Amino acid sequence: MDWIRVEGDRLVDGTGRTVTLHGVGLGGWLNMENFITGYPGTESQQRRALYAALGAEAYRRFFDRFLTDFFAESDAGYLASLGLNSVRVPFNYRHFEDDDRPFELKEEGFRRLDRVVDLCAEAGLHAILDLHAVPGHQNQNWHSDNPTHWAHFWTHRHFQDRVVHLWEALADRYRDNPAVAGYNPVNEPADASGEVIGPFYERLERAIRAVDPRHVLFLDGNRYSTDFSMFTEPYDNTVYTAHDYALPGIAAGSEYPGTTRGEYFDRAVVERSFLRRTEFMRRTGTPIWIGEFGPVYTGEPERDAQRYQLLRDQLEIYAAHGASWALWTYKDIGLQGLVYADPDSPYLRRIAPVLAKKKRLGADSWGGVDREVRHLLDPVEALFDEEFPDFDPYPWGRKAWINLLVRNILLAEPLVRDFGRAFADVTPDEAETLAGSFAFDGCVRRSRLAETLRSHLAG
């Protein structure tokens, strides 16, 4: 495969030909997320519950099968068949290092990453390596494997040292591999002070470049990759990556074109949001890569038709501005994925009661709704409005903060026990069968989404 590098405001290959990356994020694989595979809370909480329920042997066999079947040769081939050319590969630091043995890197994590990089290369897909969860948690939410609402990564030098050390090792391993388009060192950072992230990025860039001066760096902005104020002059061979979730695609009760949460959205509004989020890239003449975007799907034909229209509008906006992109996400249990586990699969049948309870309580941040827990939230929000009217916690204000604490932590944490109980008495052979529910041949393809991507890329 050709090397990719930055030339002005473009990505180019070895001949100088412009390369626009069109891809997906491989969410839920080496970094698991609750809405993607159905557990409540965080990955680490889920893993502890499964270990307690399954025992060592069944636990090992479950995850060996899951991590093999979730992305295999048939998955890479399917993505290439749609006209895509890249995969953003998120991973959790825990595959490479244990908290009780910091700085001792585990070969197993590298081998798993090698396998997917090789599968992508064989299918003609570039891989972008994305550290999605770091020691101490770089943001306040579940997808950094954070069981709290505090991002301690920014207040402990020890955590930062470990990330630099890991990226030095990753850069050394892949420095001569052109199938890797580049490194996305920290997903959706959220430094509440705004004072640590800039110096940390400077340190990390120097450390990676000392080992590997050739690969592209893909750097997320602060506040979940929406704020680029910490950057001044762009680094060499670097792309600054915005995440561009449009509210009508993710909010309950939305309309498009139409009103969502009291604000009118149409294509012009969506484009203005894109231009605002990519202002730094356009001002500095650097390439644009939308590292995450995409609607969630409700199963309601009229609403989903509107969300496909939103997706088409976003794709056309990106094409008009020469932007690369990675759609979130490739595979899940039915909310957003390009393919998803069959609702009648052994795994989904087993966890069905937990999914129903999780939905009722609105325990997931992504895709969850608060309709049936408003009787809890309304008085708390009213109390804060009265007693703390100026309280505006980082990053999204007090209503989001209350929802995080009540729904996504207070209610989700005991639900983890329910999830674990669903696997009581599962044998090692049965555990493997359950994990195999995510194999491509047994999954459902979201055909309308696939055709939307294929048509856009063919045009």
Interval 253-262: pLDDT, tens: 999 999 999 9
Q: What is the pLDDT of residue 420?
A: 98
How far, in Å, CA of 192 to CA of 140, rounded?
10
Interval 322-349: pLDDT, tens: 999 999 999 999 999 999 999 999 999 9
| pLDDT interval class at 102 (50, 70, 90) | very high
Residue 66 is encoded by which pair of tokens?
Answer: 């899951």
Are the C-beta atoms of 310 and 239 separated by less than 8 Å?
no
Interval 392-447: pLDDT, tens: 999 999 999 999 999 999 999 999 999 999 999 999 999 999 999 999 999 999 99
Interval 205-219: pLDDT, tens: 999 999 999 999 999
Q: What is the pLDDT of residue 316?
A: 98
| pLDDT interval class at 363 (50, 70, 90) | very high
Interval 7-50: pLDDT, tens: 999 999 999 999 999 999 999 999 999 999 999 999 999 999 99
pLDDT averaged over the chain? 98
Active site residues: 188, 292
Q: What is the pLDDT of residue 55?
A: 98
- The two beta strands, 339-341 and 443-445, are antiparallel
Q: What is the pLDDT of residue 143?
A: 98
| pLDDT interval class at 2 (50, 70, 90) | very high
Q: What is the pLDDT of residue 426?
A: 98
| pLDDT interval class at 202 (50, 70, 90) | very high
- The two beta strands, 331-332 and 339-341, are parallel
Sequence-ordered list of residues with C-beta below 8 angstroms from that of 33, at least 6 positions apart, any chain? 27, 43, 142, 143, 366
| pLDDT interval class at 177 (50, 70, 90) | very high
How far, in Å, CA of 213 to CA of 202, rounded?
14
Average pLDDT over residues 120-131: 98
How far, in Å, CA of 33 to CA of 368, rounded?
13
| pLDDT interval class at 451 (50, 70, 90) | very high
Interval 138-162: pLDDT, tens: 999 999 999 999 999 999 999 999 9
Are the C-beta atoms of 309 and 256 separated by less than 8 Å?
yes
| pLDDT interval class at 375 (50, 70, 90) | very high
The answer, yes or no, to whether residue 248 has pLDDT greater than 90, is yes
The answer, yes or no, to whether residue 459 has pLDDT greater than 90, is no
How far, in Å, CA of 283 to CA of 272, rounded?
15
> Smallest Cα–Cα separation from 192: which of 41, 392, 387, 380?
392
